[in-house]
Structure 1
Amino acid sequence: MAPLTIAYSPCPNDTFVFHAWANGLVDGEPAPRVTFADIDLTNGMAERGELDVLKLSYAQLPWVLGEYALLPSGGALGRGCGPLVLVGPDAPEDPAALAGKTVAVPSERSTAYLLFRLWAAKAVPGGLGEIVVLPFRDIMPAVRDGKVDAGLVIHEARFTYQQFGIRKLADMGEAWEADTGLPIPLGAIIARRSLGAERLGLLAGTIRASVEYAWADPAASRDYVLTHAEEMDPAVADQHIALYVNEFTRDLGPAGYEAVSAFLSRAAAQGLVPELPADALAFPGR
């Protein structure tokens, strides 16, 4: 078999998960040809059909499921890791006060954005004002400086926003989990449907084996993880892995599929993503 092409991020959770497969340490698929790219880039790669396998945001899934299938292994769902809505120190405590206000977001094709819009549909009955897309690093300074009324942030900003003298208005993950009881769908793994059911099944098994290899021998992936994480502190990398690599990474399982289906169907009902056919999430390699 010819090696597959794959794109995933240099973040510790992805390099931890794919280390064994990428280095030919598990049986099944031969080691792939890897491209490292952040998720905003892989979202575009998937829409253009550029590679065989990709990690992308679940929010992008409805646009690519014609050509790609959702794999049951390798992705990221989580609890207690949702995006935050941040506001200035003097902003009202009531989320309804966001009505008509300007909100900065890092992307409009992201789980964070869809969670925010689902939350706002209930919490901000007057309707949001302008949505401004800004680079992630610029959002907290923009809130601090009053250039926007609120900002939507993800990942490490959960732990650093206080340094900007701003405060949390709401936690989108808490709101989602309180409403549904389900984990948050973050990053999906997809593969070309044209590979056929047999090879898709083999691929899913290979990725599952790569996850299990990483758990069985965490030290084996250490250099690979830290090399691609650049200057990230090893302890922070470990926390990142612990937060985003869990049983849903090994296999979505019924709860994982329920979370993805609920997330995308609610977003479709709000007109935020295209509506999916009933069997769109079904994995042909089962």
Structure 2
Amino acid sequence: MTVAPHTLELGYSPCPNDTFIFYALQAGLVPAPAPVHEVLAGVQTLNEWAAAGRLPLTKISYRAAFEVLDHYALLRAGGALGRGAGPLVVARRPLEDLSGLRVASPGRLTTAELLLRLAWPQAVPVPVPFREVMAAVERGEYGGQPLDAGLIIHESRFTYPQHGLVAVRDMGSWWEQETGLPLPLGAILVRRDLPADVQRAAEQAIRDSVAYAWAHQAEALAYVRQHAGEDDETVVRGHIDLYVNEYSLDLGDTGERAVQELYRRGVEAGALRAGASALFLP
């Protein structure tokens, strides 16, 4: 007989899609294998914590998830896949080719930088905290070094024109043209050392949390607004509508194929190491 943990820490970002998805779960409104304690942090911090195996449940980028498969398994609910929902490359002026150019990146372990490496292997990623990317590109420098363009994610997709920037390429559209598949962005992971029944129950609890948020949107949005970095209601709703979809409820065959294809291409390009562990929770 396995024993469930007394509490389950769940790490996710304060971005509207995450807080919308996990509202019901952290509030105890859906059945779970143990009370869930929220741990809010930025995507780069969550990626780093996952590398150390700190949290039993965590939302991180798919790029980072591929690095920690030895001690985490991917869940099929709660993540972010989408069409027309990828990172944007922005610049002060139109650009056609980023080869050899310096591009602000929200982090080495982000899906955004992996896509940059797949599309433009000769581009030069420059790490910049994601909330500072637009301002850095607007200035044309970061840390005293020049910048030619930047990768933006989250709410920045909706606000970059306010910084006088233009879209160079939607990396989600590029991925879809290349593969015909939705773009994997954010993954939900469960630590492999948890009892098998706890892992499965956690996946179902996340699925139930998504369904609850859809059924009680006004209630979920009140929680979202507590943590959103953007006050504009239209931006917040646009963010949720873009990143919370049928793949958040369940990846299905198409979603799983998209994740496997991103992994395969990353390994083929030398951006990821090939691992022996299965990607998904059995």
1:166-197 CA-partner distances (Å, limit 9, x unpaired): 32222211110011111111111111111122
Q: How far off its partner does 1:36 sit?
A: 0.7
2:116 is matched with 116
2:68 aligned residue: 64
Q: Look up the equivalent residue of 1:133 and give its one-letter code.
A: P
Aligned to 1:94: 96
Partner secondary structure for residue 94 of structure 1: coil
Shift of 1:8: 0.9
- Sequence identity, in percent? 45
Q: Deviation digits for residues 233-253 of structure 1, max 9, x if unmatched?
A: 333222211111111111111
Choose which of 255, 264, 278 in structure 2 pairs with 1:280: 278
Residue 99 of structure 1: CA displacement? 2.9
Specify the SS of the correspondent of 1:194.
coil
Q: Residue in 2 aligned with 1:193?
A: 192
2:60 alignment partner, SS class? strand
- What CA distance in whole angstroms lies between the structure 1 residues aligned with 2:229 and 2:132? 21
Q: Which residue identity is paired with 2:264?
A: S
The residue number in structure 1 matching 2:16 is 12
Work out whether residues 57 and 187 of structure 1, in 8 Å CA contact, stay in contact via their aligned partners in 2: yes
Worse-matched range after superposition: 147-156 or 190-199: 147-156
CA–CA distance in 1 between the matches of 2:44 and 2:184? 16
Q: Give the Å deviation of 1:230.
A: 5.5
The aligned residue for residue 23 of structure 1 is 27
Q: Which amino acid aligns with 1:94?
A: E
Does the 8 A contact of 1:5 with 1:53 survive in 2?
yes
Letter in 2 for 1:47: A
After TM superposition, list the pairs within 5 Å mapping 1:97-246 onto structure 2. Answer: 98-121=98-121, 127-128=122-123, 130-146=124-140, 147-229=146-228, 232-246=231-245
Aligned residues: 273
Stretch moving more, 195-204 or 67-76: 195-204
User: Cα–Cα, structure 1 residues 141 and 203, in superposed 2: closer, same or farther, change >3 Å?
Assistant: closer
Distance 1:65 1:227, change over 3 A: same
Tell whether the 8 Å contact from 1:184 to 1:259 is kept in structure 2 after alignment.
Answer: yes
Q: CA RMSD in A?
A: 1.8
Contact 1:265 1:276 in 2 (8 A): no
Partner of 2:259: 260
Change (3 A) 1:179 1:50: same
- The answer to whether 1:271 aligns with 2:273 is no
TM-score (norm 2): 0.90
Do the aligned partners of 2:230 and 2:236 also contact (CA within 8 Å) in 1? Answer: no
One-letter amino acid of the structure 2 residue matched with residue 252 of structure 1: L
Q: Could you tell me how far 1:94 is from its partner in structure 2? A: 3.0
Partners of 2:126 and 2:148 lie apart in 1 by 11
Taking structure 1 as reference, are residues 156 and 30 closer, same or farther at Cα in structure 2, changes over 3 Å only? Answer: same
1:113 counterpart letter in structure 2: E
Unaligned runs of 5+ in 2: 141-145
- Partner amino acid, structure 2, of 1:257: E
**Match of 2:129, as an amino acid?**
P
Provide the rounded CA distance (Å) in 1 between the counterparts of 2:53 and 2:234: 36
What is the letter of the counterpart of residue 11 of structure 1?
Answer: C
Runs of 4+ in structure 1 deviating by more than 6 angstroms, as ranges, are none
Q: Which runs of 5+ in 1 are unaligned?
A: 122-126
Contact 2:76 2:280 in 1 (8 A): no
SS at match of 1:51: coil
Report the CA distance between 1:231 and its aligned residue. Answer: 5.2
Match of 1:34 in 2: 38
